[in-house]
Amino acid sequence: MSAAALHAAPDTAPLRTAVITASTRDGRFGPTVTQWFTRLAAGRDDLETELVDLAEHPVPNTLSWSPPAEDQQLLAPLTAKLEAADAFVIVTPEYNHSFPASLKQAVDWHYTQWQAKPVGFVSYGGIGGGLRAVEQLRLVFAELHAVTVRDSVSLHRAHEAFDGDGELRESAVAEGAAKGMLDQLAWWGRALRAARAEHPYGR
């Protein structure tokens, strides 16, 4: 095969997708939602998911342009996972009409790791299903040069919606929403990965 043909061949490798559990609060419901979602995503050949639980990746409380060595060491595992990802799915609750401070800290400590990559959302909460958190996150990720996909998964009254085994009692609507969001994430993920490979992204 010629070099030109190799260059034109589509990249069919699965997208490395970081599924980020945003809440670190005691008694949080996030891991239940994350596990349900990743079980769905595991059935797809075009995605390869990696769980990123922010409760396992504490970040320094004070932002710094030049973090000291101990802060760099603390950040390194999370930074490496974000850098390696082709796409992201944020699993977030809604706290006071917004998203958790733990997520904002993790987002703000990074920059190039988010650039020119797609972001999908799975939100949960009470009657609002976390939608206000997602709308605010869209603004944040736009500033970071990331692409948020249009469709999202919103789980209303999540604590009541799941049974004791971590499965949704009525799953058809949520599973359909998850498929739609992941289809969009995969399209953007492939397109942006190819674009980054050909033309490294810059501001």
- Is 1 within a domain? no
The predicted-structure confidence for 106-154, as pLDDT tens digits, reads as follows 999 999 999 999 999 999 999 999 999 999 999 999 999 999 999 999 9
Residue 191 lies in a domain: yes
41 domain-assigned:
yes
Provide the whole-model pTM. 0.92
Instruction: Supply the pLDDT for residue 7.
Output: 52
Does 8 fall in a domain? no
Strands 87-93 and 15-21: parallel
CA 54 from chain centre, in angstroms, equals: 12
Range(s) of the domain holding residue 123: 35-56+75-197
- 154 lies in a domain? yes
Specify the CATH number for the domain of residue 121: 3.40.50.360
| Crossing angle (nearest 10°) for helices 101-108 and 131-143 | 10
Q: Residue 69: inside a domain, yes or no?
A: no
16-20, 69-73, 99-103: range with lowest mean pLDDT: 69-73
141 found inside a domain: yes
Strands 47-53 and 15-21: parallel
Q: How many domains does the chain have?
A: 1
pLDDT one-digit tens code per residue, 15-62: 999 999 999 999 999 999 999 999 999 999 999 999 999 999 999 988
Sign of the Cα torsion 123, 196, 42, 107 reads negative
Q: Is residue 168 part of a domain?
A: yes
Residue 176, pLDDT above cutoff 70: yes
Nearest to 57 by CA among 86, 94, 29, 18: 18
